[in-house]
């Protein structure tokens, strides 16, 4: 194909890239718009290829050619602005944990097991190998509960909500759990779990386990339900002096506007910033992966380890995070801060679904 024949295709590809880049700027909650928050890494890669093709085939003596080049370059720069914080090129938001104090350790394994997956042994093997203090599972129904209950000899504390609608959830813990509560914050069939966990040194940590429904053509047409749950949990933990951890499959990528809003409102830190994306979904498609499983924590903690674990038969990889309670060192860390526009946006999201941060359980507040 000649350069002249390629030019219409390059113009069309540039316009599509521009559309995919610009649409997420709109605060529309329809799934078709919010889905474009996810593939920013893939769009950045395509922008690089498009720039190369434009440079090699277009007549750069023409102004129209430079306009196409500038549009593609601008799209690439915009996508990189969102994803670069989740690479080692960025300054780490959470400091490495000093020392080896086992009594202040909190090791959490987060796993969306995929309800139809019947390879429970793979997850059990990971639990026995990595010995997490807390295991939290999503999409776990009664079949999964029967298999996971064999962990109760070593992880005697638990919260259970087996459901067959893809939103079952279980927590198993070696460490004591108090004030446990399962709540349905936004949707009647989508649970979240909340409790107070006691570390080995006696420190009590406020824990929130979430799995809001995603915006998709087969579930919620809009992201309003997911966004409302994130916003009210963020507002609930904002300003608390107690150590806090929020984890789960949030059905949102780390770099989306709503996850950034969650970080701003809550004041919690993201240990991936400056370290990597830790893409946990989709386990079956290496070129279509993004970070859907999250862990955020208050400044009381620093990070010992964070890693994506081997496949367990699910469409998600499990995520292992080891925090250390180091309030002296941790207080020197800083995350994102909300401005007045952020608080106004959060209020409008919550009002749309008629929910409030007062609906969120506050264990031993």
Give the bridge partners for 192, in sequence order.
183
Position 2 pLDDT exceeds 60: no
**Predicted model pTM:** 0.95
Residue 345 CB partners (closer than 8 Å, separation 6+): 27, 261
The percentage of the chain sitting over the pLDDT mark of 90, rounded to a whole number, equals 89
pLDDT, position 227? 98
Instruction: From the options 3.60.10.10, 3.40.50.170, 3.40.50.720, 3.40.50.300, give the CATH code of 102-359.
Output: 3.60.10.10
pLDDT band at residue 4, thresholds of 50, 70 and 90?
low
CA 180 to chain centre: 23
Q: Considering only CA atoms, give the Rg of the chain.
A: 22
- Give me the pLDDT at residue 64, please: 83
Burial class (CB in 10 A: 0-12, 13-18, 19+), 65: middle
Is it the case that residue 365 has pLDDT exceeding 90?
Answer: no
Task: Check whether 49 has a pLDDT greater than 80.
Answer: yes
Whole-number pLDDT of residue 110? 98
pLDDT at residue 332, rounded to an integer: 83
- Alpha-carbon distance 156 to 172, whole Å? 7
pLDDT tens for residues 148-180?
Answer: 999 999 999 999 999 999 999 999 999 999 999
Q: What angle do CA 219, 225, 229 make, to 5 degrees?
A: 130
Q: What mean pLDDT is predicted for residues 117-127?
A: 98
Distance of alpha carbon 54 from alpha carbon 51, whole angstroms: 5
Q: Tokens 């506007």 — which residue?
A: 257
How many Cβ atoms are within 10 Å of 14's Cβ, its own excluded? 22
Residues 223-270: tens digit of each pLDDT: 999 999 999 999 999 989 999 999 999 999 999 999 999 999 999 999
φ/ψ bin of 120: left (φ > 0), alpha (ψ from -120 to 50), beta (otherwise): alpha
Q: Quick check: 20 and 47 in contact, CB under 8 A?
A: no
Report domain extents, the chain.
3-86, 102-359
Secondary structure of 175-244 as H, E, C letters: CCEEEEEEECCCCCCCCEEEEEEECCCCCEEEEEEECCCCECCCCECECHHHHHHHHHHHHHHCCCCCCE
Is residue 3's pLDDT more than 60? no
| Cβ-Cβ contacts under 8 Å for 64 (sequence gap 6 or more) | none
Q: Is 174 exposed, middle or buried (0-12, 13-18, 19+ CB in 10 A)?
A: middle
**Cα-based distances in Å from 363 to 128, 181, 203, 208, 346:** 29, 8, 14, 9, 23
Pairing mode, if any, of strands 301-308 and 293-297? unpaired
State the pLDDT at residue 134. 98
């Amino acid at each position: 194909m000649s350069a002249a024949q390629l030019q219409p295709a390059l113009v069309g590809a540039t316009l599509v890239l521009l559309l995919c880049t610009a649409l997420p700027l709109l605060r529309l909650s329809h799934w078709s718009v919010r889905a474009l928050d996810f593939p920013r890494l893939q769009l950045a890669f395509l922008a690089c290829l498009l720039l190369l093709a434009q440079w090699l085939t277009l007549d750069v003596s023409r102004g129209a050619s430079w306009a196409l080049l500038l549009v593609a370059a601008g799209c690439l720069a915009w996508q990189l602005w969102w994803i670069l914080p989740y690479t080692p090129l960025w300054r780490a938001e959470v400091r490495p944990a000093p020392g080896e104090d086992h009594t202040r350790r909190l090791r959490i394994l987060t796993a969306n097991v995929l309800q139809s997956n019947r390879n429970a042994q793979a997850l059990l093997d990971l639990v026995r190998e990595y010995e997490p203090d807390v295991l939290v599972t999503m999409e776990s129904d009664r079949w999964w509960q029967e298999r996971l209950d064999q962990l109760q000899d070593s992880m005697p504390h638990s919260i259970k909500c087996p459901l067959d609608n893809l939103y079952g959830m279980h927590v198993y813990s070696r460490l004591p759990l108090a004030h446990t509560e399962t709540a349905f914050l936004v949707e009647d069939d989508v649970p979240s779990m909340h409790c107070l966990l006691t570390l080995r040194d006696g420190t009590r940590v406020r824990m929130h386990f979430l799995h809001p429904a995603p915006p998709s053509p087969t579930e919620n047409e809009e992201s309003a339900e997911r966004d409302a749950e994130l916003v009210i949990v963020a507002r609930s933990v904002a300003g608390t002096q107690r150590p806090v951890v929020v984890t789960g499959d949030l059905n949102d990528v780390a770099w989306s506007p709503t996850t950034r809003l969650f970080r701003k409102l809550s004041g919690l830190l993201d240990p991936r910033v400056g370290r990597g994306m830790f893409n946990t979904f989709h386990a079956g498609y290496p070129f279509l992966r993004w970070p859907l499983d999250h862990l955020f924590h208050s400044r009381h903690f620093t990070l010992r380890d964070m890693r994506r674990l081997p496949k367990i038969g699910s469409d998600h990889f499990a995520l292992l995070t080891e925090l250390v309670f180091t309030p002296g060192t941790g207080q020197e860390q800083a995350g994102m801060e909300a401005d007045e526009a952020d608080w106004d946006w959060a209020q409008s999201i919550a009002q749309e679904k008629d929910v409030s941060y007062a609906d969120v359980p506050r264990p031993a507040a």
